Chain A
Amino acid sequence: MMSATSAMEVNAEARRILAVSISKLYASRTQRGGLRLHRSLLLSLVMRSARDIYHSSSRESEGQSGAQPAAEEPMDTSSSPGNHAGVSQAEPQPELISPEPAAEEPRSPEEPCESETIEDKENLSPARQSRKRRGKASVAPDFLPSKRARLEPGEERHAAPLGSCRVRAGESLAVLSLNRVIPAF
């Protein structure tokens, strides 16, 4: 069991690596010669490790102390099957999300609309709007459970489930972007 401080350090490092990775991913889109598959794959692997460690160290630090700067979301047992028991911190989430406009998920028209997503899609901030065209293959099929990624407290978004069908608690938007890196080809 890590001490609270080292868990927080690890958490901070994981967050930093995630942010660096996302900006690299974004920068690689404008690179001469096109997206490099190998590089994109390696970036997504690092992001995956960072995300895993970020979540596990966040859970640990939350387990250590009762009240902490990281706002831990209680297990939401009352809501729909989409389990979002993961940690969501109010401050870092915008950091993570804003540099990655390219990785945003489109709303699949078939997915059931949540009451909270009454938000106006047209007037989303540029950072949230998806500008990327998706092929048919990357649209989430209906039969998979919808997963909700936690952005900010009180705001919900739909997220396409992972292609590999890993139903795991606490999947954040960063995860989905990993799988979207590859289908760009």
Chain B
Amino acid sequence: MEEESDTRKINNSFLRDHNYATEADIISTVEFNSSGELLATGDKGGRVVVFQREQESKSQPQRRGEYNVYSTFQSHEPEFDYLKSLEIEEKINKIRWLPQQNAAYFLLSTNDKTVKLWKISERDKRPEGYNLKDEDGRIRDPSTITSLRVPVLQPMDLMVEATARRVFSNAHTYHINSISVNSDLQTFISTDDLRVNLWNLEITDRSFNIVDIKPSNMEELTEVITSAEFHPQQCHTFAYSSSKGSIRLCDMRQAALCDKHCKYFEEPEDPSTRSFFSEIISSISDVKFSHSGRYLMTRDYLTVKVWDLLMENKPLETYQVHDYLRGKLCSLYENDCIFDKFECVWNGSDSVIMTGSYNNFFRMFDRNTKRDVTLEASRENSKPRAILKPRKVCVGGKRRKDEISVDSLDFSKKILHTTWHPHENIIAVAATNNLYIFQDKVN
């Protein structure tokens, strides 16, 4: 046991140093597209890597489609705002796919200030036999041309190219925390700490501000917007979450400026759990509509909550992600972990929800059976194709053999970003600079 812990310490410190060296590789967002065929990741260095699921082959039916790198491109570069003397980070905060409408794929990626629409398309043919230039591209001397030929499309090695089709900039004073594509496929919203802006995908030189919670006197600021999302079916409805733990549902048909919500979801605070850090841990870090559109899920520091859109005064379900951290909030405040923004995700049928935790653990909650499981994303503890072993954190008293005590948890290994395939049980989990893809066991 002693040796194990020493090895673990060495591994931890090595990995920690390694992480600092490759900070640009830290994954900052993961997202499946609407068919699940593609998986995109964004990182701190402003790059986007898209994976594509390989076609399942009839000859090897047991080998389910694996995800391979399809395209890599630099989405955002570091910028400098000269007016404010501020550096703008190139870190990709969010990626959202547009549903596929033709052969090309489109996604929106955003950093703190600018949203970009990227087109990812394949090229597997190339025209050959031009008259005015030769195969290398050099212009031919017209006097040497004696006959005309028609260029022919010849097959070539598949090339996947990504081009920036739109750049939506200069609309946010504060840092963008989320983007969401509307079900109308024509508009999207981008959200910063105080404002939500509505864009048309075709128009980049203007956007409509639809929510503005900036007080006239900034000293009176008590609340910021932490996330916003469009309803999956109702193109006029969106929700935004706040740092105070509330969610507001807005209807864009009511008024041009949606400052008046039509629904307000908040659970009264439990006075017995009040502490210095009550406000921080009630701040919602992510909000997601269920695929059905009937429910909302929110993630705050210690819990995940499922809300029924028809019931505003309390959540339908509350799941404890890592309640054993409640007694450690002071240390987590000192090491900044209390500010970590965890995301949460629904499975395709809205029966299971998933979110990340520390020590490369992530948690799944089955809403029907009320069972939950803790799994770990780490190379050391799982070989490829091995079944993941459920993990358990020991909260006190006697620690069993396979359990890990709260004090041994590695808080530098956090899983903030996860995504679930829209139809199948395939999940992608980002653990610092590593991406793990887990699939259901094939019988």
Contact with B along A70-96 (1 / 0, CB 8 A): 000000000000000000000000000
Chain A, range 31-78, C-beta contacts under 8 Å to B = 32-34, 36-39, 41-42, 45-46, 49-50, 53
Q: Is the interface of A mostly helix, strand, loop or mixed?
A: helix
A164 and B219 within 8 A (CB): yes
Q: Interface code B217-260, partner A: CB below 8 Å = 1, 0 otherwise?
A: 11111111010000000000000000100000000000000000
Asked if A163 lies at the interface with its beta carbon under 8 angstroms from chain B, I say yes
| Chain B positions within 8 Å of A42 at CB level | 243, 279-280, 283, 339
Q: Which B residues touch A183, using CB under 8 A?
A: 218-219
Quick check: is B152 within 8 A (CB to CB) of the other chain?
no
Shortest A159–chain B CB gap in Å is 14
Q: Specify the chain A residue showing the minimal Cβ separation from B223.
A: A41
Distance of A13 from chain B, by nearest CB (Å): 7
**Interface residue? B270 (CB, 8 A):** no
A49 CA to B177 CA, complexed, in Å: 26
A36 contacts across to B, CB distance below 8 A: 175
Asked if A182 CB lies within 8 Å of chain B CBs, one says yes
**Chain A: interface size category:** 20 to 34
Q: How far is the CB of B104 from chain A (nearest CB, A)?
A: 32
By a CB distance below 8 angstroms, the chain A residues around B193 are 37-38
B208 contacts the other chain (CB 8 A): no
The reply on B89 being an interface residue by CB < 8 A is yes
| Chain B count of residues within 8 A CB distance of the other chain | 34
Q: Does A137 contact B (CB under 8 A)?
A: yes
- The main secondary structure of chain B at its interface with chain A is loop
> Does A97 touch B at the CB level, under 8 Å?
no
Q: Which residues of B contact A50 (CB under 8 A)?
A: 276
B129 to chain A, nearest CB (A): 51
* Residue contact B89 to A32, C-beta cutoff 8 Å: yes
Verify if A17 is at the interface (C-beta below 8 Å from B).
yes
Do A182 and B276 touch across chains, with their CB atoms under 8 A apart? no
Distance A183 CA – B193 CA, assembled complex (angstroms) = 14
Which A residues touch B339, using CB under 8 A? 39, 42
Contact A49 B218 (CB under 8 A): no
Q: Beta-carbon contacts of B194-227 to A below 8 Å, as 1s and 0s? A: 1000000000000000000000011111111010
CB of B429, distance to nearest CB on chain A (Å): 25
Q: Is the CB of B334 within 8 A of A49?
A: no
User: With a CB–CB cut-off of 8 A, which chain B residues contact A34?
Assistant: 84, 86-88, 175
B86 touches A33 (CB 8 A): yes
Q: In this complex, what residue of A is CB-closest to B277?
A: A46
Q: Is the CB of B333 within 8 A of A46?
A: yes
CB distance from A11 to the nearest CB of B (A): 13
A-B contacts, 22 of them at CB < 8 A, read A17-B276, A20-B333, A20-B334, A32-B89, A33-B89, A34-B87, A34-B88, A38-B177, A38-B224, A41-B222, A41-B223, A42-B279, A42-B339, A46-B277, A46-B280, A137-B218, A163-B217, A163-B219, A164-B219, A179-B219, A182-B218, A185-B218
List B residues at the A interface (Cβ < 8 Å).
84, 86-89, 91, 112, 173-175, 177, 193-194, 217-224, 226, 243, 276-280, 283, 330, 333-334, 336, 339
Q: Which 5 A-B pairs have the closest CB atoms?
A: A163-B219, A34-B86, A33-B89, A37-B193, A45-B279
